[in-house]
Amino acid sequence: DAKTTQPNSMESNEEEPVHLPCNHSTISGTDYIHWYRQLPSQGPEYVIHGLTSNVNNRMASLAIAEDRKSSTLILHRATLRDAAVYYCILNTGNQFYFGTGTSLTVIP
Amino acid sequence: DTEVTQTPKHLVMGMTNKKSLKCEQHMGHRAMYWYKQKAKKPPELMFVYSYEKLSINESVPSRFSPECPNSSLLNLHLHALQPEDSALYLCASSQGQFYNEQFFGPGTRLTVL
């Protein structure tokens, strides 16, 4: 069974914010939440990760629910280069459990 | 150098062939990983090496044989594969064994005829 669930696809207009949701209701206390994205014909690329508190970096923000059963990846201004499959991942120790991913389409 | 390189980019092999995939990183990372990714599916973990020792084997068939000759290099030896083994094989590395960002290579696209 998948440890995370994500919508199959989402669309966003260019330069608009994008909120990508993820549910991980079986998360344990020591699991980290990672987000990676994968462009066509490339390996996954790190976006952001967190444990309990919200996190910001130059690429995105990660909002984690208080009960940690869900999280949201926020891209503040979508660009055409952000079109990719976004994976929400539970990291237990040195194992990554990939979700099924959300394919993001950015509309010019 | 923050890159993980994989060779070859593409590989076509018959079911009786023996071939190897190679992965290299020069970031001083001590954990390295092999993943398998089928089309339109997420990557699935196959093996984890930590400090050059195999620490996780996710019940992978023995026709896949990993090897870590040194801390920078990871190989995946292939023998007697089946057509359903055709997939993108991704290598990744991370600084330590636990809770670290993983850096992925571009993958080797394998086709088994």
Chains A, B: CB contacts within 8 A come to 51
Residue ranges with strand state E in chain A? 9-13, 18-23, 32-38, 45-50, 55-56, 61-64, 70-75, 84-92, 95-98, 102-107
Give residue ranges of A with CB < 8 Å to any B CB: 32, 34, 36, 41-46, 49, 87, 91, 93-96, 98-101
Q: Is the dihedral of CA A41, A46, A47, A50 positive or negative?
A: positive
Cβ-contact B103, B4 below 8 angstroms: yes
Instruction: Write phi, then psi, for B17 (nearest 5 degrees).
Output: -75, 160
Q: Which residue has the tokens 């997420």?
A: B42
Cβ-contact A48, A76 below 8 angstroms: no
* Statement: residue A2 has pLDDT above 70: no
pLDDT per residue as tens digits for the range B16-66: 899 999 999 999 999 999 999 999 999 999 999 999 999 888 889 999 999
* Statement: residue A5 has pLDDT above 90: yes
pLDDT per residue as tens digits for the range A31-63: 999 999 999 889 999 999 999 989 999 989 999
CB contact under 8 A, A94 and B94: yes
Across the range A63-88, mean pLDDT stands at: 96
Q: What is the mean pLDDT of chain B?
A: 93
Nearest Cα to Cα of residue A35 among A57, A14, A9, A15: A57
* Percent of chain B at pLDDT exceeding 90: 83
- The C-alpha atoms of residue A6 and residue B14 are separated, in whole angstroms, by 37
DSSP state of B99: S
Total residue length of chain A: 108
How high is the pLDDT of residue A22? 97
Across the range B85-97, mean pLDDT stands at: 92
Question: Minimal Cα distance from A101: which residue of B?
Answer: B42
Token pair of B65, please? 């044989």
pLDDT per residue as tens digits for the range A12-21: 999 999 999 9
Strands A9-13 and A102-107: parallel
How high is the pLDDT of residue B58? 86
Q: Sorting pLDDT into bands at 50, 70 and 90, what band is B2?
A: low
Q: Which has more confidence, B76 or A3?
A: B76
How high is the pLDDT of residue A92? 82
Q: What is the mean pLDDT of chain A?
A: 93
